[in-house]
Copies of this chain bind each other. A is one copy, B any other.
């Protein structure tokens, strides 16, 4: 067990003070100690926020599991576990380097070697991030982008294909568009504003999910012969609600944490505003999605209200640092309406996205970057361009991958396996042993 270096430095400091000579040395010592203090505070803040973002993984896992049939539960949980396992390892190996490395190929991608630095390259101070902790925070974001997709492709995709997808997304697709803004690439140069990643994280996941849903086609029985949508209700809404609460909680690492420092006065101001905007937008999203279903379908629907909360969160993510509290409420409310419309739109297009990954993360991700222009003073043209570029990149890149897998016959499971459930077919393991579960569709 150990003792901190600071107590020693404080002693040295006090010792130094005993000697009247060397006042400048004293002052320098004080300055250095204070810089270390700010450094420690900022890195602790980053550490805590990274943990909150990592905790979003079980949120996604049980939300997606709860919104799908019991017979596919093991499969969905497994995909979420592997998103974090693969994501951490690949983002360590190459992803981080692609995203935050030195510009290459005319600024379309970065690179600075395998793995991550282990030591500080600059003097410790406020706002200086330890490279290992910085990676830790960024890796959590990468895994989030990956895991959004697993809900959209639930119930019919082969597990091995999903692993390929997940690896490609975290190692390559997400880092590349991430580099464009956060890595200092061309979108950053144009002044594109996406504070915590409405587009960079969520739209990437949402549009990759849309590509997957299109390439796979709908689950058997999801649309009638005449194209009328048929509901395939989730098997456990308690898990779904718990998942949303966990995500809401984790989002306070996602958004406030993106300030990347708390030791300065400006940092605290920003974090305070970001936190409040985040909760207000989520609340408005949930409330308005509920009202929308109440008016449209006659009864308030829980699953839509839950999606509304997430929609509000995604919508505020890009702009939470530059909009006022009332604007945050408006942004969340509109996101709550958008998500209901987005779900209906996919039904009309006969695209089967079992958990609404695209309406929540894709559509509201774009809404988030636009709202930064509308309510936050960012250049609306640049925002639209950036949102479009990122969404298009994720959609096209992943669509190609999914169609390659389809061509190889690896994408979708057999009809019989799908009907019996992927848990038996892919994993030979069922989630609810002993419970009597119907599987009549």
A437 to chain B minimum Cβ distance, whole angstroms, is 5
A36 / chain B contacts, CB cutoff of 8 Å? 263-265
15 contacts between A and B (CB under 8 A): A3-B261, A13-B27, A17-B24, A41-B41, A77-B302, A81-B244, A86-B287, A88-B279, A89-B284, A92-B280, A130-B269, A132-B275, A132-B276, A234-B433, A299-B426
Q: Is A241 an interface residue (CB 8 A)?
A: yes
Q: Is A260 an interface residue (CB 8 A)?
A: yes
> Which residues of A from 39 to 76 have beta carbons under 8 Å from B?
39-45, 47-48, 50-52, 54-55, 57-58, 61-62, 65-66, 69-71, 73-74
Interface size class of A (residues with CB under 8 A): 35 or more
Cβ-defined contact, B43 with A116, below 8 A:
no
> Which residues of A from 296 to 330 have beta carbons under 8 Å from B?
297-303, 305-306, 309, 324-326, 329
Q: Knowing A309-B85, A428-B299, say if A73 contacts B237 (CB, 8 Å).
A: yes
A398 to chain B minimum Cβ distance, whole angstroms, is 22
Q: Knowing A6-B38, A77-B302, A127-B6, say if A437 contacts B434 (CB, 8 Å).
A: yes
Cross-chain contact of A283 among B89, B432, B433 (Cβ < 8 A):
B89
Cross-chain contact of A62 among B119, B238, B268, B329 (Cβ < 8 A):
B238
Cβ-defined contact, B432 with A236, below 8 A:
yes
Q: Once the chains are docked, how many angstroms separate the CA of A302 from the CA of B18?
A: 62
Q: Is A120 an interface residue (CB 8 A)?
A: yes
A433 / chain B contacts, CB cutoff of 8 Å? 69, 233-235
Cβ-defined contact, A249 with B51, below 8 A:
yes
Cβ-defined contact, A283 with B2, below 8 A:
no
Besides the known contacts A135-B276, A298-B428, 11 further A-B residue pairs in the complex with CB atoms under 8 A apart:
A3-B261, A4-B266, A43-B262, A43-B268, A81-B245, A81-B305, A82-B290, A118-B325, A235-B433, A235-B434, A299-B428
Cβ-defined contact, A40 with B136, below 8 A:
no
Contact code string A5-28 (vs B, CB < 8 Å = 1, else 0): 111011001100110100110111
